[in-house]
Amino acid sequence: MGFAKLLGRVAMKPFSRALPQMGDTERAALEAGTVGFEGQIFAGRPDFDALIATGPNALTEEEQAFLDNEVKTLCAMLDDFAIDEARDLPSEVWQYMREKRFFGMIIPKVWGGLGFGHHAHATVVTRLATVNVSAAVTVMVPNSLGPAELLLRYGTDAQKKYYLPRLANGTDLPCFGLTAPYAGSDAASIPDRGILTEREIDGVRVRGFQVTFSKRYITLAPVATVVGLAFNAVDDSRTEGPINLGITCALIPVPQSGMQIGRRHRPMDSAFMNGPIEGQDVFVPMEWVIGGEQQVGQGWRMLMESLAAGRAISLPALGAATQQSSLFVANGYGKIREQFGLPIGKFDAIAGIIAGMSAELYATDAARRFTAAALDKGEQPSVASVASAILKVHLTEAGRRSVNHAMDILGGKGIINGPSNLLSVAYRHMPVAITVEGANILTRSLIIFGQGAVRCHPYVMAEMNAVQQRDPEALGRALIGHAGHTIRNLWCSLFGAPVIGTPPEPLRKEARLLARLSAKYALTSDLAMGLLGGRLKRMELLSARLGDCLSHLYLASACIWRYTVEADSDMLPFARAALRVQLDAAEEVLRDLYANLPTPGRRMIGKLVLSRTAHLAPMRDVQMLELAALLRRRRDLVNRLCPDISAPKQGGMLDLMQALELSEQLGDETTELNKLVRRTRSFEKAAKETADPERSLAYLKAADRVIQVDDFPA
């Protein structure tokens, strides 16, 4: 008997008790998709050459033309306040989105769609969301959460031929019903049942399912013409009792006998369409099952493999849009608005906040763009994949932080609703992104590390499979490899990790620390799993910290990728600040984790693992104030951090854009001009005393529109 087999036999029993059990639905989630760069971080061996080889984001000529024309035109049709008040998009907007195939971005050209890549898809959603979130949600759902992706991957030829052209040109508007009142976060336990049966239709016996269901929170449901539905298929004709066939996905045309659809939810009183769907004994023929009868029971795997765009692309795009809008508004308003004779953006308290927003935006947008580039190169994340979970949580949370900061800076201007308001609608929408597609609390505490530990770790999945298959030799081989992995990471944690690959020279110091922190993280993950075993899965606060550390390292890696592929030396201060903030946060999380490990000697273990960390000091006040000064002086840097800001039809954001444009033309004269206004108490008199009275007056009026707020009849 070989050593590996002997070791596996000895370890089989204790490992069977220690390793968490894995159900079929969890296994389907874990096995779907691919592992990207996050796997290298989990292994403690980030390869910067592999990171950079992902390459830059790229747009085809058609994608760029669409952004420059159709997207720009659509943005100019959107009035944020008017849409919010009407609780719907104008009819001409609906028509334009259909005509220009906004609902068919991901559908290949052969089926009448636009055939766009992930980066183009994300950019469209981001640009729309900087103007009106409801329009962005309306566009994103058919492209990420609707049936099109499922049809492309699994649909029968007949289903593709019929539905894809209709979805591409907007003839059919889809929704997808998954969430039920008693199955929210635990979506795999949906109680909706479809009983296998036969019915006579036009003299022909047709096999299908008699489905009863209740769904809620379904975006586009009130206006949908076809419903994607997930239900549990059951065959109760067996003599031995009902047989659960598994989750199944089907397409139901609207209207349909037994189905009630059309009522609305009002999520944060938003204008996008969202509502419940209910059905009582709705007959679903086999030809309506996505992929036909052979795909009955395969719905959960289909969803895991196909709907990741909602987490990796669309929802992060909403978070990025909120961050960009918030930074643009905070910095711009800080230049226009004066108090105590100074632009408020020059006060340290405000400048520090703006600088922090810019550093976080650089990192989160880097991660979003890096993941889109990886997807465009062929990686296939699952809904439960680590990268998509990191983006979903950290982009939406960053959006929430940024809009909160910007609202603080706006003060009274921010809390008075009306056409002139700059951020109130986006502020109200933010909890929606936090909540949907896997609430952030759940995703942070259970998925990023809980499933990432199994999915990304080089040996844990092999160990779990070996235990489940009762294969001692496979378990022994995995344990030997795992032991070597742990020893290597212990050595690198204590004595320094090699920098694999060639990071950019200006960020080499940060890359060295990232490599070492990655080794410390990998070692800490092994220690936590080894000391706590299956209990770690239930200790959600610890699991969340392990997920947070991985997330910070992923964002930091993306900063190195972004700075390299963009080759923009002017952005070095922001890249370095973003890296320092993320690395400092990663180290702080590790310290908190060791302080909270429920094991004896945790402090000693923590001191050992975290010793000799080549600590890179976090950003100091003076450095943050320098970032803020750069943003005040150089509008081009703001534009590079906020490239997706788009001009709306009218409203406060358009007023701010116009005021900033005139301010740029006047340059330093605006300071003297504001002094003249305080002295003369007249825009006209002040403007006449300048070298360019016409432009000065235009600026003063534009700035006044930015400062004023709306009032309404009592």
**Helical packing angle, 602-610 and 572-596, nearest 10°:** 150
d(CA 209, CA 197): 6
Rounded mean pLDDT, 673-684:
89
- pLDDT-derived band at 385 (thresholds 50, 70, 90) equals confident
Q: Which of 114, 94, 92 is nearest to 104 (CA)?
A: 114
Q: Which of 176, 160, 168, 175 is nearest to 97 (CA)?
A: 168
pLDDT tens track for 176-223: 999 999 888 777 789 999 999 999 888 899 999 999 999 999 999 999
Residue 68 pLDDT greater than 70, yes or no: yes
d(CA 690, CA 676): 9
Rounded mean pLDDT, 389-404:
96
Residue 16 pLDDT greater than 80, yes or no: no
Question: Which three-class secondary structure state does DSSP give residue 274?
Answer: strand
Q: Which position has the token pair 């392990």?
A: 546
Q: Which of 652, 613, 559 is nearest to 130 (CA)?
A: 652
Give pLDDT, residue 708.
95
Q: Which residues, at least 6 apart from 436, have a Cβ–Cβ distance to it below 8 Å? A: 217, 315
pLDDT tens track for 680-700: 999 999 889 888 889 999 999
Enzyme catalytic residues: 437
d(CA 420, CA 223): 30
Furthest-apart CA atoms within the chain: distance in Å:
98
Give pLDDT, residue 24.
57
Q: Taking all residues of the chain, what is their mean pLDDT, rounded to a whole number?
A: 90
Rounded mean pLDDT, 112-124:
96
Give pLDDT, residue 384.
45
Give pLDDT, residue 383.
42
Report whether 330 contacts 278 (CB < 8 A): no
- pLDDT-derived band at 351 (thresholds 50, 70, 90) equals very high
Q: Is the dihedral of CA 257, 259, 260, 264 positive or negative?
A: negative
247 secondary structure, DSSP code: E
Residue 46 pLDDT greater than 80, yes or no: yes
d(CA 327, CA 355): 9
pTM: 0.93
Rounded mean pLDDT, 589-601:
87
* Domains, the chain, ordered by start: 3-54+457-620 (no CATH), 61-168 (1.10.540.10), 174-303 (2.40.110.10), 309-440+623-641 (1.20.140.10), 652-707 (no CATH)
pLDDT tens track for 229-277: 999 999 988 767 678 999 999 999 999 999 999 999 999 999 999 999 9
d(CA 420, CA 258): 46
Rounded mean pLDDT, 79-92:
96
- pLDDT-derived band at 382 (thresholds 50, 70, 90) equals very low
Give pLDDT, residue 54.
93
Q: Which of 367, 353, 267 is nearest to 317 (CA)?
A: 367
